[in-house]
Structure 1
Amino acid sequence: MIKQTSLALAVGFALTGCMDTQTNTNNTEVTTKAAVEQSAQLSENQKLNQLVENYFDEALAFSPVSGTYVGESQYNNQWSPVISAENRAKATAFTKKYQASLAKIDSAKLTGQDLLSYQIFKRDLALSLESEKFPGYLIPIDQMAGQHNTFASLGSGKSAQPFTTKAEFDAFIGRANGFVTWLESVEANMREGMKQNVTLPKVLAKKLLPQFQAHVVTDHTQSVFWMPVAEMPESISAEDKAQIEKDYQALILKTLVPAYAKMAAFIEQEYIPAANDKVGYSNLPNGKAWYEFLIKQHTTLDLNADEIHEIGLSEVERILNEMKGVKEAVGFEGDLAAFFVHLRDSDEFYYDKPEDLVKAYEDVKVKIDAKLPKLFDIAPKADYVVKPVEAFRAASAAGASYQAPAPDGSRPGVFYINTHNLKAQPKFLLETLSIHEAAPGHHFQIALQQEVEGLPRFRKFGGYTVFAEGWALYAESLGKELGLFTDPYMWYGRLVDEQLRAMRLVLDTGFHAKGWTREQGIEYMKANSSMAESDIISEVERYIGWPGQALSYKLGEFKIRELREKAKAALGDKFDIKAFHTQILIDGALPMPILEAKLDSWIESVK
């Protein structure tokens, strides 16, 4: 655990130590007054901490699956509440109740972590209410982030849902029944979306279909939901095993398969024909305002779509010039477009077997771990492992991703690498992708956040895309400082990843604010990168279905780099890169304006 000291308490103890040497009446009165003030301050701290803890507990009722991921096992038999006007009203009332309670706390009496918590909580509640202006419930799932995929992952036994006792197997049956009820409300809301012209683009609706069809089986043993049964631990008695097998056969064939089949039929026969032929949010009712809100939600920054688009165009051009430098360094004859084709098509840059790809990332892990103390004096206690993405979701999954470790240490973090298409996983991405998804990227930031002692749970298990992804991309930029990227192709891999994030600024804003087509986005990525076409299509469709999210990487990196340069200029010889990294990571994910204010205070304290 990282011991987190309250600044309020630290200041209080310092004052007490000084005043113990005072003996006259006036000083006694001062001491008494300070004690009263300190007591009041602690009272406000206590009220805030109780409030946010109560909030976290109550919020889990709206998201039981989150309870499973943070180790609250009492939620393992529940699924999300149905999507309805009644439940939306409950969520609104819930948010307003906590806004009213927070308003009663005097923020002037808060310092340190408590003040950060207050600022974050106030901002999050306001943003939650603002989001209700837009009908996101009419597009409740997509090919990237749909809860239907989360459910299948949990049910496979390869995620956070435990399957070690009969009671745990029974709990998932309860969760499955809740999922089926929820899925009915998904269909109902998608039907309403069809009426209001708020739908997924047709191209994404088509990608949803196989995700449901994959679970329509006639042999229950071929279902992903049979996997935990097939791998039951020996500790379960023979009698219980027989009952579990009987219950799960019925669950799969009588409950889940019909539900998936019904949803697949709806998507194929009704939703796809009615889905939007265009791809951007600007084509939806009030879509321009909706997209600008999503920019604010994902980036926490005060930037509009036009500004972001121009930043992206400039960055793409800069990185292209650096790629030309690599082409010349390796002695490639031909222009950059030919170099891209060479890197896409030459077998030397790709593995032949999925297991070789996974092994390569395991080897890079060892190499990077040994170099981290050069720039960091903190590291998470939890380790991470490298795993291939499960087959049932590999076709639509990202090239790589990270899953946080269990809070109690019972499960390590997971760096998932997608082995579905080996031509989308070039060898030159090994170092940069490992840095980003694992250490010192997502694994460092997320695992450390979970390990901070005394951090309120809404912060311990919460986060901001711009912070998490901005940090991971900033971590990539540390590669040369760590002694990596010595091979010019590995450095090219870093540029590939950076170029991907720069292109995202152009494409995300292009699709949702400037009327770009899917095909226009694909051609832009082909012209400005050496990515495999299958990877390009997956990325383009991700930006179409998840507006604003992809902006966070590059804009977050820019902000962290800007803060580093600001601290370096202000502190001069006193600037310590390890201390700076600790300051970025030690309080968990923060909205960028709050992070900047915190860093400003740190700079003043070091001067």
Structure 2
Amino acid sequence: MNTKHLALTVVFSVGLVACNHTSSAKIDNLGASIDANSALVIQTESQKSNALFKAYFAERMQMNPISATYVGVSDYNDRFNPPINQQTLAETLAFEQKYLTKIQAIDASALRGQDLLSYEIFLRDRKIALEGAKFPGHLIPIHQMGGAHSAFASLGSGKSAQPFNTADDYRNFMSRANGFATYMDSAIEAMKEGIENSVVLPKPLIKKVLPQLQAHMVEDLTQSVFYGPLQSLEEKDNITGLDKAQIKSDYLKTIQNVIIPAYRRVYTFMSEEYLPKGRDTFGLLDLPNGKAWYDYRIKTNTTLALNAEEIHNFGQQEVARILAEMTKVKETVGFEGDLTAFFEFLRTDEQFFFDSEQALIDGYTQVKQNIDSRVPLLFEVFPKADYEVRAVEAYRAASSAGASYQSPAPDGSRPGIFYINAYNLKAQPKYLMETLSVHEAAPGHHFQIAIQQEVESLPDFRKFGGYTVFAEGWALYAESLGKEMGLFTDPYMWYGRLSDEQLRAMRLVVDTGLHAFGWSRQQAIDFMVDNSSLALTDIEAEVERYIAMAGQAVSYKVGQRHIRMLRNKAQKALGEHFNLKKFHTQILIDGALPMPILEAKIDRWIVQQQS
């Protein structure tokens, strides 16, 4: 998952929210409410906490308009996130401190059930957010895996969360474009400050960002990804002919005079000033306060008290174990040669690859239908929203992950999307189809994220929040259910499952190697080439992803291990009374949880089942 995509809504790094104080009196009035007779009504701790959660989410959406659009809050569709500057950073810090103070005033001993879970999560998250303020992530506002430059293009394509249904929708996006231009200018200033403080991207990553920017510097406006919404304008019966003409004229001017120049300014700066100042090292360890920064990244991504050495060693053990399993597959299919030769065979033999993007998408669609018929074997709760299979858009395919998932619209207007990257068909072997589908779609990310959005009892900050270790841990755990669902009967499909698990095991080694033990980019690439059959282009993109998103990649295996540990604990405690469907319900029904809070919840469930 490119979490993506993770968290699950668009987040650009650090320093994006600015407090809007117009509603502060309303938001701060959480301790009591006035009834129709103007009599003071004292709230319970449950009512106070839920009012607090509601106020937090409302203010957060007001301060982060891009995230608001993605979760279906349309009030701020005309705004972009505020610029990166000291005022924004200070207001963000004050915002988190305010809500930490408020949650600490709640009496947790009076809370039960969802209220208690929400309290524990909210308190923990505010502390973590404040701790992260000491690290200068805002000085690296964009990289090849994400940032405002790619998020804005996705919104402006007309195929994402930004609506283009009414005349006001088009005007909203034009207004948002002005905010985008302001934000990108602030990103330039932040990167200049990064140069002064020796907090800059490695040169190979800068080189990957440049073509992403250049893709939007077109001469022919009809070739711009931002032209997409105009193609459907004529079909809008609810917009008058005069309005259509004015909208088209204004929209083209916005592309020409606002959007393209914003991309050009960033491109010019990054190619002429930033690239020469880019660094030749790769890990956080090489940045000021880098060791503490990486330790923080491990904590935020895993939610557990783990250190780099422990994760590195666990990864080495898993890589060796999975290599042994791969050797068994080689023997099963009767391949003559060593494992290195088997890897080369799997990388190159034509039988394992599709010859067109459409054939790739059709193949995954067929796998979807097969999996959808099997998930009832292990589950009793299902998302209402469906998902569809799509190819990654051409403008972002070169630097995107091999597969990813985008959650459905909360109001049901847009399905979940399982993206397959067709940029390099030799990086999409057929033997990965079942394991990738289970991970990204059902019962992996699609089940977990869609169900989380659909649970009515969850406060919005949980419904639309998440933890990489939970989301990715669940998706990797879901892969391990494949045989229980009747998948992976073909030995090459089983190899695909092992290949995907090996990728996650190698991430433990490579991520920590890069950021804690001084590995070079080439050293990381060589390790992955030696221990997998992944295409070299895939490996290079993966390694550069780990460089850009320190600590994110270790959460997959760590999360899977923790969820499997909880299942084993429950099975041992409950014996013949253990019900796997009900266990899965317990994991999914309360949304994403930090691992310690999930473990405490499952422990309580085990006691309830025993009684």
Contact 1:41/1:109 (CA < 8 Å) preserved in 2? Answer: no
Q: In the alignment, is residue 323 of structure 1 matched against residue 326 of structure 2?
A: yes
CA displacement 1:529-554 (0-9 Å, x = unmatched) = 00000000000000000000001100
Alignment of 1:203-282 (within 5 A): 203-232=204-233, 233-235=235-237, 236-282=239-285
Q: Give the whole-Å Cα distance in 2 for the aligned partners of 1:204 and 1:499.
A: 24
- Structure 1 match to 2:38: none
Alignment of 1:376-525 (within 5 A): 376-525=379-528
- Structure 1 match to 2:49: 48
Taking structure 2 as the reference length, the TM-score comes to 0.92
Q: Give the whole-Å Cα distance in 2 for the aligned partners of 1:41 and 1:243.
A: 54
Q: Give the whole-Å Cα distance in 2 for the aligned partners of 1:401 and 1:239.
A: 41
Q: Give the whole-Å Cα distance in 2 for the aligned partners of 1:110 and 1:96.
A: 22
Q: Give the whole-Å Cα distance in 1 for the aligned partners of 2:458 and 2:262.
A: 41
- Structure 2 match to 1:129: 130
Alignment of 1:93-104 (within 5 A): 93-104=94-105
User: Structure 1 stretches (4+) deviating beyond 3 angstroms?
Assistant: none
Q: CA deviation at 1:148?
A: 1.1
- Structure 1 match to 2:18: none
Query: 3-state SS of the aligned residue for 1:298?
Result: helix
Alignment of 1:88-167 (within 5 A): 88-167=89-168
Q: Give the whole-Å Cα distance in 2 for the aligned partners of 1:434 and 1:41.
A: 50
Q: Give the whole-Å Cα distance in 1 for the aligned partners of 2:526 and 2:104.
A: 51
Taking structure 1 as the reference length, the TM-score comes to 0.93
Give the partner amino acid of 1:207. K
**Percent identity, aligned pairs only?**
60
Q: CA deviation at 1:327?
A: 0.3
Count of matched residue positions in the alignment of Structure 1 and Structure 2: 568
Query: 3-state SS of the aligned residue for 1:481?
Result: helix
Q: Which moved more, 1:95-104 or 1:505-514?
A: 95-104
Q: Give the whole-Å Cα distance in 1 for the aligned partners of 2:582 and 2:391.
A: 35
Query: 3-state SS of the aligned residue for 1:75?
Result: coil
Q: Give the whole-Å Cα distance in 1 for the aligned partners of 2:334 and 2:43.
A: 66
Q: CA deviation at 1:257?
A: 1.2
Q: Give the whole-Å Cα distance in 2 for the aligned partners of 1:592 and 1:319.
A: 25
Q: CA deviation at 1:234?
A: 3.3
- Structure 2 match to 1:64: 65
- Structure 2 match to 1:584: 587
Q: Give the whole-Å Cα distance in 2 for the aligned partners of 1:41 and 1:449.
A: 31
Higher relative helix content: 1
Q: CA deviation at 1:75?
A: 1.2
Give the partner amino acid of 1:234. K
Q: Give the whole-Å Cα distance in 2 for the aligned partners of 1:546 and 1:103.
A: 32
Unaligned runs of 5+ in 2: 1-40
Unaligned runs of 5+ in 1: 1-39
Q: Give the whole-Å Cα distance in 1 for the aligned partners of 2:96 and 2:263.
A: 33
Higher gyration radius (CA): 1
Contact 2:297/2:550 (CA < 8 Å) preserved in 1? Answer: yes
CA displacement 1:3-47 (0-9 Å, x = unmatched) = xxxxxxxxxxxxxxxxxxxxxxxxxxxxxxxxxxxxx99711000
Q: Give the whole-Å Cα distance in 2 for the aligned partners of 1:41 and 1:316.
A: 58
Q: CA deviation at 1:62?
A: 2.4
CA displacement 1:401-434 (0-9 Å, x = unmatched) = 1000010111110001111110000000010000
Q: CA deviation at 1:145?
A: 2.0
Q: CA deviation at 1:218?
A: 1.2
Q: Give the whole-Å Cα distance in 1 for the aligned partners of 2:579 and 2:185.
A: 55
Q: Give the whole-Å Cα distance in 1 for the aligned partners of 2:529 and 2:100.
A: 47
Q: In the alignment, is residue 367 of structure 1 matched against residue 370 of structure 2?
A: yes
Contact 2:165/2:236 (CA < 8 Å) preserved in 1? Answer: no
- Structure 1 match to 2:185: 184
- Structure 1 match to 2:202: 201
Query: 3-state SS of the aligned residue for 1:463?
Result: coil
Q: Give the whole-Å Cα distance in 1 for the aligned partners of 2:147 and 2:279.
A: 18
Query: 3-state SS of the aligned residue for 1:382?
Result: coil
Q: Give the whole-Å Cα distance in 2 for the aligned partners of 1:499 and 1:374.
A: 26
Contact 1:41/1:110 (CA < 8 Å) preserved in 2? Answer: no
